[in-house]
Structure 1
Amino acid sequence: MRGRARDVYRSLIFVPMLVAPVATAAVWRWLLHPEGGVVDRLFGVFGADGPNWFRQPGTALAALILISGWQLLGFSMLVVSAGLAGINAEYGQAAALDGASRRQAARMITLPLLSPSLLFMVLMTVLLSAQWTFPLIDMFTQGGPGNATTDVYYLLWQFGFRNFDTGVASAAAVLFFAGFGVVAAAFLALLNRFSFYDD
């Protein structure tokens, strides 16, 4: 896909990243409503009853993962597109002259040179996923059912603003920050060890 069609396609994928969390929650609540929602009607076409997405532990977590993935697809596309744009096209041309297939060129050239972008994307997803999902958890499940969708950010918010236990919230936030530092350091070590650069 090239030209204007590609730009339109990329824009459509990136749009969910720009939508406000409240609007996102409203749209998905309508889509996943257990009585008359679009997804529930699709289940009805096949003679099945749709689940109550946000009232069952398994489906509530799955729904939040689905919605978050839909929102972050644009971010992932942006990172991968930037990584691909930075790869010199001459490498692929040289591989083709040497008789390499497209699959071999992708595995031996594109993926290694794309590894810094992919590892950066994984790092950002791991470190920021709890922050990105906080508005959805607060609007859909409030951490339930049975704490199935409670993440670290929502737990800190509960300590500080629902239980008004600011001491525990502050201590937990410091530990959380230290844990994130360890995870980030581990990812940076992996980045330096397994990344290939176009030097």
Structure 2
Amino acid sequence: MPLLAGFATSLSLIVAIGAQNAFVLRQGLRREYVLPVVLTCALSDALLISGGIAGLGALLTSSQLALDLAKYGGAAFLFAYAAIAAKRAFNLGTMSPADHAPAALRTVVLTCLGFTYLNPHVYLDTVVLLGSLANQRGTEGRWLYGLGAVSASFAWFFALGFLARRLGPIFARPRAWQFLDGAIALLMTTLATWMLLA
């Protein structure tokens, strides 16, 4: 069953806590541009998975320059976002979403695109690994596998973004936002460091 195999494999790769998931969760909690954010993530995955099935994975793994650009650019982006999250965590007055105006849609989408495309692991997992697994399924099976993988991405990001609001009562307290942003800053710093050392 290529469809179910693609769904299960893709879900196991994207559910792990990472920079992109942390960003989607925060936007969901803030109820700020949730639909554009989850669509950006899911459609990006669809594009990357399709590219992997079409052969982009082999091209990427043969270019050390492309991998290095993603690695160092991604690490710099994560360190910068970690600094922003740390600043929010130490400034308690800015924790509640009601305390300040929402960011511009363009800024939010560009940040989301950064978390998606400046992460070298998205290419290794989504393009190379899923593309390789899909292509083991034959001409027809590979696209069914890809459809399953894309479906998992849509299901996950929509669930993460729109179900996050159920945690709203917890995040009505500024301290909860302080804790979340502190955890995000730590996560981003850890991921960026790991990316550079890998």
TM-score of the superposed pair, with normalisation by structure 2: 0.29
Larger helix share, 1 or 2: 2
| TM-score w.r.t. length of structure 1 | 0.29
Larger Rg: 1
Higher relative CO (Cα under 8 Å, sequence separation at least 6) belongs to 2
